[in-house]
A and B are shown apart, each in its own frame.
Chain A
């Protein structure tokens, strides 16, 4: 069964450093998403991406965040200058037109 692949599974970074979280969505999906989950809390929407542009973003997704689909297969989330409160599990998802979401297994980001 097709999968959404996220790398790395765990990233540790120093506060103030830039990180790039990588995702390979399912190849025939058109809608891409990033969600995050702070430990023990609910999953929160960050951004949706369709037709090579952001279609919706949350208040969390401020100027420190950016997304890119550089080569037609990867979908990346960049955090420019990480803060301690960015520590969370970040999930990438893609979906079909009939709302069949598939989530990746997540990247656990730890900012120290």
Chain B
């Protein structure tokens, strides 16, 4: 079965704290893609990162970093020195060629307090 689990429904931190959003996925496919999207209060889906299953290199982009570990089927997302503008719902998603669709986690609502 294919599944994406984001166990944290809501996280609230104070500005400038670091925060990690967890994502665990399940798939039998050997080739797949993992994504993170941000959904601000305005509702659109903002692409953050795509990672394929053969590339386990961690990635850093400014204050954002991603830790992909196939051994634990996890693709966690860390925001360093969080800012109020980071407040949003963050979705992790999984794509496999076997069913031509993105499978989404339930999302984690991140609240950054000033």
Contacts A33-B101, A55-B100, A56-B100 known; A42 to B106 CB distance under 8 Å? yes
Q: List 14 A-B contacts (CB under 8 A).
A: A43-B91, A44-B104, A48-B100, A50-B100, A99-B33, A99-B52, A99-B95, A100-B50, A102-B47, A103-B47, A105-B43, A106-B43, A106-B44, A106-B45
Beta-carbon contacts under 8 Å, B10-36 to A: 33, 35
- Asked whether any CB of chain A lies closer than 8 Å to the CB of B99, the reply is yes
Dominant SS among interface residues on chain B: strand
Interface residues of B (CB under 8 A from A): 33, 35, 37, 43-45, 47, 50, 52, 91, 93, 95, 99-107
Determine whether the beta carbon of A108 is less than 8 Å from that of B45.
no
A105 to chain B: closest residue by CB: B44
Cβ–Cβ < 8 Å partners of B45 in chain A: 43, 91, 103, 106
